[in-house]
């Protein structure tokens, strides 16, 4: 497979991931507003085992390209890169949502301080991405065998630890999937290549996986609530872990198949801009839901979920396009040169696009 096609399906996989993330927040928010559940609650329920694991696995796929670099260059692309956008957007979120919308500057200041050690809201993902990147680099530098690193990380994930620190708990839960993307990348790329070469067989395998995943999620005590979904048999830690890993790989295969059709280019486009959407979507999502509910324009939970989800995806993309057109404010979505480490600066362009694969 050519590099361009390879990146195409990776972007498509990232597109699926960001759609599921936005769907979760849109659906839970709509459920809270209406006090009811809708169709999308069950879609989110089905995706619960693999929704975030897949995002981490995708983020680790190209780690092998950079992990052997000197610490400064590695940290610039895999740590500073993420923390720049975390810090910037944590300030934007807190100032807009707490300082201005709630007119509470004192609480906003407290939140800003806490955001240093306790990831703020949906931005926890990019905060933890910096953490898992450092951990993977340490294992590499210490020459820890990959099988040992994977086993330890898997046990840590299945332990479902609760320390009181959200950053540590999320790191423990998801590091194994980031590490899996790194160590299993050759096998995953080969599997997707094989799926593209035999789409009928791959589709049948995806259907079988979907039936198994759905059966384990929806049987044995599942419960759908307006703001929460409790899985059935899949809630058992080893089963959940197996579904997370298999589901993440299954979505890679699905993305590989979908990326072969030009009419699915929109999915790859969303994937290329997935982190642009990720850092900004909760703002248009929250404000649009509030407006629609206050004006009593949409009362159906499913419809409210779908409309607010669409708004939450489109607004950041439009905002990014406008910023590029006017040539002002680019630092919101592109890391400026001054925010790079000196050792890495001479090897970078003037700006580093947030949505680009970190290499």
Q: How far apart are CA 255 and CA 314, in angstroms?
A: 21
**Residue 96 domain-assigned (yes or no):** yes
Q: How far apart are CA 88 and CA 335, in angstroms?
A: 10
pLDDT tens, residue by residue, 118-150: 999 999 999 999 999 999 999 999 999 999 999
**Residue 358 domain-assigned (yes or no):** no
pLDDT of residue 344: 67
Percent of the chain at pLDDT > 70 equals 94
HEC assignment per residue over 276-338: HHHHHCHHHHHHHHHHHHHCCCCCCHHHHHHHHHHHHHHHHHHHHHHHHHHCCCHHHCEEEHH
pLDDT tens, residue by residue, 156-209: 999 999 999 999 999 999 999 999 999 999 999 999 999 999 999 999 999 999
**Residue 109 domain-assigned (yes or no):** yes
pLDDT at residue 55 above 50?
A: yes
Label residue 347 by pLDDT band (50, 70, 90): low
Percent of the chain at pLDDT > 90 equals 82
Domain that holds residue 313: 3-353
**Residue 359 domain-assigned (yes or no):** no
pLDDT of residue 6: 53
Q: How far apart are CA 159 and CA 215, in angstroms?
A: 23
Label residue 352 by pLDDT band (50, 70, 90): very low
pLDDT at residue 86 above 50?
A: yes
Mean pLDDT of 286-311: 95
Comparing 40-44, 238-242, 268-272, 326-330, which segment has the lowest mean pLDDT?
A: 326-330
Q: How far apart are CA 124 and CA 50, in angstroms?
A: 17
Q: How far apart are CA 241 and CA 246, in angstroms?
A: 9
pLDDT of residue 341: 86
For 135, the enclosing helix (H) or strand (E) is: helix 124-141
Taking Cα atoms as reference points, which of 104, 100, 126, 102 lies closest to residue 115?
126
Mean pLDDT of 97-109: 85
User: C-alpha distances in angstroms, 236 versus 169, 242, 352?
Assistant: 18, 10, 41
**Residue 43 domain-assigned (yes or no):** yes
pLDDT of residue 338: 87
Mean pLDDT of 152-158: 97
**Residue 125 domain-assigned (yes or no):** yes
Mean pLDDT of 41-67: 95
Total tally of structural domains belonging to the chain: 1
pLDDT at residue 355 above 80?
A: no
Average pLDDT, the chain: 91
Label residue 85 by pLDDT band (50, 70, 90): very high
Q: Which residues contact 287 (CB under 8 A, 6 or more apart)?
A: none
3-state SS, residue 112: helix
Label residue 233 by pLDDT band (50, 70, 90): very high
Label residue 1 by pLDDT band (50, 70, 90): very low
Q: How far apart are CA 222 and CA 354, in angstroms?
A: 38
Contact 102, 287 (CB under 8 A): no
pLDDT of residue 353: 45
3-state SS, residue 33: helix
Q: How far apart are CA 38 and CA 68, in angstroms?
A: 47
Q: Report CA torsion sign: 347, 351, 354, 355.
A: negative
pLDDT at residue 354 above 60?
A: no
Contact 23, 44 (CB under 8 A): yes
Pairing state of beta strands 334-336 and 228-230?
A: unpaired
Label residue 280 by pLDDT band (50, 70, 90): very high
């Amino acid at each position: 497979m050519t590099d361009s096609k390879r990146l195409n399906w990776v972007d498509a996989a990232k597109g699926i991931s960001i759609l599921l993330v936005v769907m979760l927040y849109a659906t839970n928010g709509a459920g809270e507003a209406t006090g009811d559940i809708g169709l999308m609650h069950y879609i989110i329920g089905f995706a619960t085992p693999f929704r975030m694991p897949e995002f981490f696995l995708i983020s680790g796929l190209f780690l092998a390209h950079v992990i052997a670099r000197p610490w400064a260059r590695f940290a610039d692309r895999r740590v500073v890169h993420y923390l720049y956008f975390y810090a910037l957007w944590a300030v934007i979120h807190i100032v807009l949502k707490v300082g201005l919308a709630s007119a509470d500057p004192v609480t906003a200041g407290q939140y800003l301080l806490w955001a240093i050690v306790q990831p703020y809201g949906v931005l926890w993902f990019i905060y933890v991405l910096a953490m898992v990147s450092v951990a993977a680099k340490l294992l590499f530098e210490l020459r820890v065998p990959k099988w040992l690193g994977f086993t330890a990380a898997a046990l840590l994930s299945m332990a479902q630890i609760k320390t009181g620190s959200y950053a540590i708990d999320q790191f423990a839960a998801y590091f194994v999937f980031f590490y899996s993307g790194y160590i299993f990348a050759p096998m995953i790329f080969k599997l997707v290549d094989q799926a593209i070469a035999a789409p009928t067989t791959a589709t049948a395998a995806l259907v079988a996986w979907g039936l198994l995943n759905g059966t384990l999620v929806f049987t044995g005590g599942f419960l759908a609530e307006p703001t929460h979904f409790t899985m059935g048999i899949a809630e058992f830690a080893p089963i959940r872990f197996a579904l997370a890993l298999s589901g993440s790989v299954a979505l890679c295969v699905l993305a590989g198949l979908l990326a072969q059709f030009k009419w699915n280019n929109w999915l790859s486009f969303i994937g290329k801009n997935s982190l642009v959407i990720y850092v900004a979507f909760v703002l248009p999502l929250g404000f649009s839901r509030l407006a629609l509910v206050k004006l009593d324009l949409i009362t159906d939970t499913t419809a409210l979920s779908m409309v607010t989800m669409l708004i939450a995806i489109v607004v950041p993309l439009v905002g990014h396009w406008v910023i590029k057109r006017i040539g002002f404010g680019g630092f919101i979505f592109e890391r400026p040169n001054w925010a790079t480490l000196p050792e890495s600066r001479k090897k970078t362009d003037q700006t580093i696009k947030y949505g680009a694969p970190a290499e």
